[in-house]
Structure 1
Amino acid sequence: MKIDKGLVGGSTILLLLSLLQERDRYGYEIIRELETRSDNTFQFKEGTLYPVLHKLENIGYVESYLSKGDAGRERKYYQITKRGKKQLIEEKRQWETFSKSVEKVVYGDDHEFA
C-alpha cells in the first residue's frame, strides 16, 4: 500500500534518528534499512534523504565523517550527537501522543492501545 508522503514526512526525523541511535550509517545503508524494516513502506530516494541528513547536521542532531567501508570504498557516515539523542526522546514522546490521539479519533475512546 502506498503511504501519503505527508504522513512519512512528519516522521522522517524520528525514523532517521532512531536508526542512527543504533549505530553510525551511510546514506544508502539508511535507505535500505528503512525499506527492510518497514516491509518496503518507506522508500526514500537519495534526493529526499540527503537534504534531510544535511538539515539534521546543520542543526546539530547528527555529524558526518568519511570512513572506508567493508569494500574499501570511502563513504560518508552519519552519527547521532548528544543533542540528537535528546531530540530523539522528544520525537518519540510526540509520536506516542500523536499516534494515540489518532487512534482515539479513528477507533473511539474504548479502543485498547497495544
Structure 2
Amino acid sequence: MIYQLGSTLTDAIVLAIISRGDAYGYSISQQVKKVADIKESTLYPVLRRLQQKGYLETYDQPYQGRNRKYYVITEAGKQQYQFYMEEWKKYRMEVEEIMMGGMENEQG
C-alpha cells in the first residue's frame, strides 16, 4: 500500500481487529500488515496507548510454556470504535466522491 496510516487510523484498525475477538500482539500485527507497512515494535506503543486510554485491557494465557498477552476491547473501546467507524464512513464517502466523481465527470 502506498498510503500512509496516521495514528488515528491505526488506532481505529487495531480496535476493529480486537473488536472481533481477543488477540495477541503478533496476530494483530499480521492483520494490520495487510493494509500498512507496520513493524511489531511500532504496534506495541499503539496497544499501550489504547490501553492507557481505557480502550483495551489485557490478560495472560499460557502458550507453549510461556505466557502470551491477549488484548480485549473494553466498553469504552467499543464506543470509540463505533465513533471511528462513523467518521470512516463519512471520510470514505468524501474521498470516493472526489476521486471517483472526477472520473465520472470526465467520462460522462
Give the TM-score band, short-chain normalised: 0.7 to 0.9
Q: Report sequence identity in percent.
A: 36
User: For structure 1, which runs of at least 5 residues remain unmatched after alignment?
Assistant: none
> Who is 1:21 aligned against?
19
The TM-score, its normalising length taken from structure 2, stands at 0.84
Q: Does 1:74 align with 2:73?
A: no
SS across alignment from 2:43: helix
Contact map agreement 1:31 1:43 (CA 8 A) in 2:
no
User: For structure 2, which runs of at least 5 residues remain unmatched after alignment?
Assistant: none
The TM-score, its normalising length taken from structure 1, stands at 0.80
Give the drift of 1:4. Answer: 3.2
Question: Aligned partner of 2:14: which letter?
Answer: L
Task: Give the direction of change, closer, same or farther, for the CA distance of 1:110–1:42 in structure 2 (3 Å limit).
Answer: closer
Q: Which runs of 4+ in 1 moved over 6 A?
A: none
Report which of the two structures shows the higher radius of gyration computed on alpha carbons.
2
SS across alignment from 2:18: helix
> Who is 1:3 aligned against?
2
SS across alignment from 2:37: coil
Choose between structure 1 and 2: higher helix proportion: 2
SS across alignment from 1:3: coil
Give the drift of 1:33. Answer: 2.5
Distance in 2 (alpha carbons) for counterparts of 1:88 and 1:110: 32
